[in-house]
Structure formats: structure tokens, C-alpha cells
Amino acid sequence: MSERAMLEIRHFTKSYGGKTKAADDVNLSVYGGDICGFIGHNGAGKSTTIRAVVGVLDFSRGEIFIDGHSVKDDPIACKQVTAYIPDNPDLYENLTGIQYLNFVADVFDIGAAERKERIGRYADLFEIREALGDLIGSYSHGMKQKVAIISALIHEPKLLVLDEPFVGLDPKASFTLKEIMREMCREGTAIFFSTHVLDVAEKLCNKVAIIRKGRIIASGTMEELTEGHSLEEAFLEADNEK
Amino acid sequence: MKNKNLLLFRTLLLSTSRRNTYRYSRDKKKRGKIVGSAVASVLLYAMLMAYCGLMCFGYGLIGLIDSVPVLCALTIAAIAFFMTVFKTNGYLFQFKEYDMLMSLPFKAKTVAASRFLYMYVKSLPWYLSISASMLIGYGYYARPETAVYPVWLILSLFLPLIPMLGAAFVGFLIARISAGFRKTNLLQTVITFLFVLFFFFLRFFLQDMFANGKAEQTLEAASAMTESAADVYLPARWFSDAVRKLDPVSILLTAGVSAVLFAVIFHIVGRSYRSINSALKSHAASKRFTLRAQKKRSPAAAIAFKEFRRMTGSTLYMTNGAMGEVLAALVGVITLAVGSDKIVALVTGGAPLEAHILRPAIPFIVYFFIGMFATTVCSPSLEGKNYWIVQSLPIDKRTLYRGKMLFNMLLSVPFMAFSTLCLCFSGGVPLLETASYLLLGFALCAFSTAWGCVCGVRHMRVDWENEVEVIKQGPAVMIYLLPNMFVVMILTVLVVFLGMALDHVHIALGFTAAAALFAALSYRRVMKLADRT
């Protein structure tokens, strides 16, 4: 495990209209090689935290560092090493899949040969190669999700942030994504993802953070949190206690 | 490494390019619609060019051709400013792919600037149509040097930039102010309304100031006003000097000021772009709801209510959809307060016209505002990704479109009635005549609603990226808006002439019958389209 946290969230607080706190003093560290599951009820503050991490949402209190760079002060350096897959990917509907992937590859300045190899590899893994010439608007939700995943993997990020990544994916694609996540983790990538599927989190993650009403109520390694029980039991217990 | 600004801008254009959709779509119906809307766009450009060209020839015929460059610059500036004020919110903020773009390594300034440039390029054909047609007229009468033609055309590319930047900056300020409050959307809508109304009425005060009450009501007076306006709006003067005298300083000023202004404004916008978007896209939940007695509505009324909520939930939809109604009401109130004689004198620049002569035009004047936009034009397309909701409900399309038409009638008729009554009362219109104008106003509202729905359903497009594409740029809106406006202007003049010879009530009833007939035909067409789609 590397020394410096790839993702470090310190006292992150986000309030709407000055009153409702969607995230309240969130502290979290994810290191290279970690797969950290972020779990909580609907409206608990998972997406707010994730959107702030990837530089989409502005915030005034707290700090978020990615690979040592501040999201507030140096957002471009942070985004250069991060990939984000939203829960409901709003991609350019009137571009073809390949046009969109080339756009992202251009943004990350990926060479022609590398991009061809990576697009081809992931398109085959997700069985979407033949649809890449069609407009994204004609894709199903799952196909859009697959294109969003490929676009996130294309530049080999150091930090992968995913918001409910398995929603809409077929069983095979879901399995493929889990395998890719494990492989990336072995290669030192830090992965931070939100999910409602506790079974998936339990099998995939080595770290877990539970958020409730904007506050982290439990976090640590899977073993520390579950103490021999299932993650579902640990989650319900933590949820009842607070 | 590719320039990220250009890359983003190019991708943005490609992502909304109808050519790209035509090329890669396998849906024949969709491809057909693209061809149809392209043809319709060409026709509209031709109409606009004809209108501007004729105006230019009018100037040429009476020997005022030298005023045409200023007129061209002012016309483009006015249109660009007002169109941009309405569009800024949708283009710069609250667009669907915001999350995707902001998570990529782009500077906030780059994203904002690319959105602005995209808005500029998309509206450029309109401005170039105006400019090119005026250049033809100018070339015909002024016989300028050959070099004037390329200079005119190149500088035409810069003409809309300054007003668009000004309007975008105003839109940014409105968003910036609204972002600091809990009811962001409501505040943004109210400020936008106030701003547009301020400029709408400011126009008349400026006109009054320049005309100074002495000028005769001829094209010469208009020309004098145009020249005076160019002293206030300097880019128009620079453009005029650039094309008339081929003055290099004026050429540089026209292009250079636009470029500098662009850099300065987007430096400022970029600094708080993310915080504004964060505020606009976030909604605090009160979590204090208590379930009380609920109302039961008919399916059509339920759809009409849904339309109401859809409209009030979007600043862009609200400011475009209800602006005509608000203006009509304000014109009514002001006429009542100031008196119709003074309003007529102000609008006509002191022309020797009696308010009495204009009485038959009252329903058309009101309709000019009320009918400038019908919600039915864009509401079918605005279903967007939520279209599945109404599709999966146990209601037929006829009920759906009836609900949408009901909402537009509920929105437009009260404002029409209020404004008509104010104008009639102020002008001392007899009771029977007032009733006939109300009837005609109702028939016109019905026509506007049904015809708008024909356009909206016929050119329905749910796969939009940004609601601006539907509300401001959709083919349905274009097909409805421009011909409707021109026809109303022609009818307003026609009815005044008829009123000199015929009884006003008879004229109103005649036009009521015609409007009702067209409304009925349009309604029938909507029902047929409902069965087909």
C-alpha cells in the first residue's frame, strides 16, 4: 500500500441554502490499491460527496486532495488522474460511441495506437464493439453505461470514482467490471465507489465507509467493520446505533 | 497536444449537428425530419432576408442608403442581445452534460467559453442572413468599392459578439445573484423578467429621446434616429465607418473590442462558474411535508397542471413562455394609466394618427404579445427523456395534447382579456365593440394554441441535450414564431385600413370567424397527428 492517500477527504461539508447539510464533516482516505465502498441510504450524501470529489460540485468547507493536489486549488491536476462514472451517464447523445470515446481520448492526449488498443480491448470485454458506430442516443441505459465505463478506463486513471456503477449493467458486464476493478486495484489504482448492493461491496471492497444524514457513521477495513458478521448486519447495526 | 478549447467546441458542435445525426442514425423517420427541418430553416432564412432586403431597398429608394450599415449593425445588435438574454441560462448553466464535462480536465473558463461560442455559432446564420441581404441592397444602391464586400462580411461575424457578450454577462450576473438564495430558480426567473421588461420599455424612451418629438414620421426620421443611436452604440458607428470609408481603425476596433471583451468576460465568468452551477443544480429538501387532502382532476386537467409545474420549474421556459403574457398585461396597465393617445404618439413617434383609427387593431396588438409564443409549440418536445411517463399512462395522445392545449388557453386567455379590456377602456371603445374584440382575442388564442400544437407535434423532438434546443431553436418554434409574427403585423395594418371603411364590429366578427376556422382546422390536424403518433 502506498504512503500517500490517493484520495483524502478532510472535514468536507456541503450545505444547501445555508441550512440543510448534505455532507457534514466527512473525513475519508483511500490509498492506491484500495477498493473503498461508500454505502448509505438514499439521500444520505453519497452522490454529493462523490460529485465534490470529482470537481463537479463546489464546496466551501473542508478540503479534498487527490494524489496530493487540492480539488479546490488545482482541479485540472486532480482530474488528469481521476476518472468518474456517474450513476446516470448523460453523454452526448448525437455523437456515436466511437466519436465520444475519441473525444475523451483527445482530452487526455492519448496516442492513436494506444487508444485503438484500449478501446478495442474494453469494447470486446463489454461486447459493445459493433455498436460503437451508432449514435449514443440510440443506446440502451446499459450500453451508455458501458461507453461511460470505457471512457473512464481509457486513460488509465490513478483514482477511479464510480456512483452506483452496476445499475443497468447486464450480469456479464457487471462481472467484467468487477474483474477490471480488481485488476486495477492490483496495479495500484485507488477505487472509490458508492453502492446499495451490499453483497457486491462485501465481496469487492477491502474498505468501507457508511454515511448517514451526511455524516460518516462508520469506516475502516471490511474486517474491522464486520467483525465476523455480514456487511448487511454491520450496516443495519451502525444505522440503528446512530 | 490538441487545443482543449477547440476540441471541446468542435465536439459540442458535432454533438448537436443534424448532419452527424443524419449520417449515423438508422431511423428513417428521424432522417426525414432532419431534411424537413433543414428545408424549413432555409425558407425562414429566405423570409428574413426578403424582409431585411426590402427594408434596405426602401432606404435606397429615398436616398438614405448611407444609413444602411448603421441600420444593419443596430438590427443585429438588438436581435442578438434579446435572443441571448433568453438563451444564456440554458446555454451557460444547467445543461445536461455538465457533470461529464466538469469531471474531465477542462478549466471552468474553457467550458463556459465553449458554451458561449457554441451559442454564437448556432445563431450566426440568422445574423449573416440579415447582413448579407442588407449588403446586397447597399451594394445595389451605393455601388461601393469591391473591398467593401469582404470587409462587410468579415466584420458581420463580429457584429453580434458584443451584444451577445453583454447579454451573456447579464445572464451570468442574474445567475450569480440568484445562486446566493434558497429559491434560486424563482429569483432567476423574476430578475430575468424585470431585466427584459426594463429593456423593452427603455427602447420606447430612447426612441422618444432621439425623435425629440419634432421629426416627421417618415423613413428619413427613422434614418435620423438610426444615426443618433449609432452615437450611443459605438460598435454600429465603427462598423459603418469601416465599410463606408474602409477606415482601418474602425475595422480594428470592431474586431478588437469584441475579442478583448470576450477574454475579459470569460475570465470573470470562469472564476465563479462552478459555484453558480453547483447552486443552480442543487435543491435543498425541506423534509417538512405533511400529507393533507388531495385534489382529483380529469386526465386533461392533470396534464395541464403538470405543464404548469414544468413551466414554472424552468427559468428558460418561463421567461419565453410567459413573456408575451406579461408584456400584454403591462401594455394594458400602462395604456390605462397614461392614456391611449400618448401611447400611440410614443409608438408612432408623433405621427398624425388618431387613436380612434387604431381601434380595430386592438385584438391584433394584444395577440402580437400573447401569440408570440405558444407553450404547445415546445411542450411535446419538452417531455424529453420523461416521455415514457405519459407514454406508459393509460391515456391516449388526444387527451395528452388536449391537456397541453388547455394549459396554453388557461395561460393566454386571462391575459388577453385583461389587456384587451384595458386598451378598450382607455380608448373609450363602446361595449359591443369591446365584446367583439374579446371574442376575436379568444379565437386568436385558440388558433395560436392549436396551430402551435400542430407545429409542436409535427416537429416533436425528445432527444435534446439542452432545453434551449427546443425552446429557442427547435424547428417547431421557428415555423410557428416568424410567420405568425409577420402575418400579425400585416393583419394589424390591414385591419386599420378596413376600419376606415367598414364597421369595426363587423370586421372583428369577420376575423373571429376566420380565426375560429383556422383554429378548428388546426385542432383537427392535432387530433389526426395524435392518432398517427
Q: Is the separation of the CB atoms in B349 and B477 below 8 Å?
A: no
Q: Do B278 and A58 make contact, defined as CB atoms within 8 angstroms?
A: yes
Chain B closest CA to A225's CA: distance in Å? 31
Interface pTM, i.e. ipTM: 0.80
Assign B87 a pLDDT band (cuts: 50, 70, 90).
Answer: confident
Assign B52 a pLDDT band (cuts: 50, 70, 90).
Answer: confident
Mean pLDDT of A65-91: 91
State the residue range of the domain holding A230.
1-81+157-168+182-242
Based on the fold, state whether residues A148 and A204 are members of the same structural domain. no
pLDDT in the model for residue B34: 83
Q: What is d(CA B60, CA B53) in angstroms, rounded to the nearest whole number? A: 10
pLDDT in the model for residue B285: 59
Within 8 A of A82 by CB-CB distance, chain B residues are 103
Report strand pairing: A159-163 vs A190-194: parallel
> Does some domain include residue A174?
no
**When comparing pLDDT for B166 and B286, which is higher?**
B166
Cβ of A108 under 8 Å from any chain B Cβ?
A: yes
Q: Out of A133-147, B71-85, B226-240, B490-504, pick the least confident.
A: B226-240
Name the domain count of chain A. 2
pLDDT in the model for residue B214: 45
Q: What is the DSSP letter of A96?
A: B
- Report the percentage of chain B scoring pLDDT > 90: 33
pLDDT in the model for residue B215: 41
Q: What is d(CA B359, CA B354) in angstroms, rounded to the nearest whole number? A: 9
Q: Is the separation of the CB atoms in B23 and A99 below 8 Å?
A: no
Report strand pairing: A35-40 vs A190-194: parallel
Residue B414: what are its φ and ψ, rounded to 5°? -60, -40
Q: Do B104 and A107 make contact, defined as CB atoms within 8 angstroms?
A: yes
Assign B410 a pLDDT band (cuts: 50, 70, 90).
Answer: very high
Based on the fold, state whether residues A113 and A131 are members of the same structural domain. yes
pLDDT in the model for residue B349: 60
Judge residue B478's burial from the number of C-beta atoms within 10 Å of its C-beta, 0-12 exposed, 13-18 middle, 19 or more buried. Answer: buried
* C-alpha angle B309-B315-B320 in degrees, rounded to nearest 5: 95
Within 8 A of A130 by CB-CB distance, chain B residues are none
pLDDT in the model for residue B213: 46
Whose CA is closest to B15, among A102, A118, A120?
Answer: A102
Directed axis angle between helix B248-281 and helix B234-245, to 10°? 140
Q: Out of B107-116, B152-161, B460-469, pick the least confident.
A: B460-469
Mean pLDDT of B373-384: 93
Report strand pairing: A159-163 vs A35-40: unpaired
Q: Do A56 and B102 make contact, defined as CB atoms within 8 angstroms?
A: yes
Q: Mind listing the pLDDT tens digit for each residue in B218-240?
A: 556 666 667 777 777 888 889 98
Based on the fold, state whether residues A223 and A113 are members of the same structural domain. no
Q: Is the separation of the CB atoms in A151 and A100 below 8 Å?
A: yes
Greatest C-alpha distance within chain B: 76
Based on the fold, state whether residues A11 and A77 are members of the same structural domain. yes
Q: What is d(CA B164, CA B464) in angstroms, rounded to the nearest whole number? A: 23
> Does some domain include residue A136?
yes
Q: Is the separation of the CB atoms in A115 and A105 below 8 Å?
A: yes
Q: Do B2 and A57 make contact, defined as CB atoms within 8 angstroms?
A: no
Indicate the length of chain B as a whole number: 533
Based on the fold, state whether residues A77 and A120 are members of the same structural domain. no
Residue A229: what are its φ and ψ, rounded to 5°? -95, 180
Based on the fold, state whether residues A130 and A105 are members of the same structural domain. yes
pLDDT in the model for residue B211: 54
Residue A22: what are its φ and ψ, rounded to 5°? -80, -30
Assign B346 a pLDDT band (cuts: 50, 70, 90).
Answer: low
Indicate the length of chain A as a whole number: 242
Report strand pairing: A7-16 vs A61-66: antiparallel
> Does some domain include residue A50?
yes
Helices (runs of H) and strands (runs of E) counted in chain A: 9, 10
> Does some domain include residue A177?
no
Q: Mind listing the pLDDT tens digit for each residue in A103-124?
A: 999 989 899 999 999 999 999 9
Chain centroid to Cα B260, Å, comes to 28
Based on the fold, state whether residues A60 and A162 are members of the same structural domain. yes
Assign B319 a pLDDT band (cuts: 50, 70, 90).
Answer: confident
Q: What is d(CA B213, CA B215) in angstroms, rounded to the nearest whole number? A: 6
Based on the fold, state whether residues A241 and A161 are members of the same structural domain. yes
> Does some domain include residue A222?
yes
Residue A55 has pLDDT above 80, yes or no: yes
Chain B closest CA to A205's CA: distance in Å? 24
> Does some domain include residue A176?
no
pLDDT in the model for residue B58: 83
Mean pLDDT of A54-82: 92
Within 8 A of A103 by CB-CB distance, chain B residues are 7, 11
Mean pLDDT of A193-200: 90
Residue A163: what are its φ and ψ, rounded to 5°? -110, 110
Mean pLDDT of B484-507: 89
Q: Out of A227-231, B223-227, B336-340, pick the least confident.
A: B223-227
Where do the H-state alpha helices sit in B233-374? 234-245, 248-281, 299-312, 315-321, 323-338, 340-347, 362-370
Cβ of A81 under 8 Å from any chain B Cβ?
A: no
Residue B23 has pLDDT above 50, yes or no: yes
Assign B375 a pLDDT band (cuts: 50, 70, 90).
Answer: very high
Residue A2 has pLDDT above 60, yes or no: no
Q: What is d(CA B16, CA A178) in angstroms, rounded to the nearest whole number? A: 34
Chain B closest CA to A107's CA: distance in Å? 7
pLDDT in the model for residue A240: 75
DSSP track, B201-251: HHHHHHHHHHHTTTS-SSHHHHHHHHHHHHHHSHHHHHHHHHHHH--HHHH
User: Which residues contact residue A144 at a Cβ distance below 8 angstroms, ignoring those fewer than 6 apart?
Assistant: A89, A91, A136, A168
pLDDT in the model for residue B208: 60
Which residues is A15 bridged to in the sheet? A21
Mean pLDDT of B259-274: 88
* Closest CA in chain B for residue A132: B24
Give the pTM: 0.75
* Closest CA in chain B for residue A91: B97
Mean pLDDT of B48-54: 87
Within 8 A of A115 by CB-CB distance, chain B residues are none
> Does some domain include residue A175?
no
Based on the fold, state whether residues A11 and A54 are members of the same structural domain. yes
Cα torsion B290, B291, B296, B302: sign: positive
Based on the fold, state whether residues A58 and A164 are members of the same structural domain. yes
Q: Out of A19-33, A110-124, B176-190, pick the least confident.
A: B176-190
Please, which residues 198-227 of chain A have a Cβ atom closer than 8 Å to chain B? none
- Average model confidence (pLDDT) for chain A? 90
> Does some domain include residue A191?
yes
Query: Which residue of A16, A84, A107 is in closest CB contact with B7?
Result: A107
Cell numbers representing residue B279 in the block = 447552486
Q: Is the separation of the CB atoms in A56 and B99 below 8 Å?
A: yes
Assign B287 a pLDDT band (cuts: 50, 70, 90).
Answer: low
Based on the fold, state whether residues A6 and A40 are members of the same structural domain. yes
Whose CA is closest to B118, among B8, B34, B222, B196?
Answer: B8
pLDDT in the model for residue B133: 93
Chain B closest CA to A54's CA: distance in Å? 6
Which residues is B238 bridged to in the sheet? none
Based on the fold, state whether residues A123 and A68 are members of the same structural domain. no
Mean pLDDT of B154-183: 86
Q: Do A135 and B283 make contact, defined as CB atoms within 8 angstroms?
A: no
Q: What is the CATH number of the domain that holds A45?
A: 3.40.50.300
Mean pLDDT of A211-222: 91
Residue A189 has pLDDT above 70, yes or no: yes
Residue type, B307: E
Chain B closest CA to A223's CA: distance in Å? 33
Mean pLDDT of B126-139: 92
Whose CA is closest to B463, among B154, B7, B5, B21?
Answer: B21
Within 8 A of B2 by CB-CB distance, chain A residues are 106, 109
- Report the percentage of chain A scoring pLDDT > 70: 97
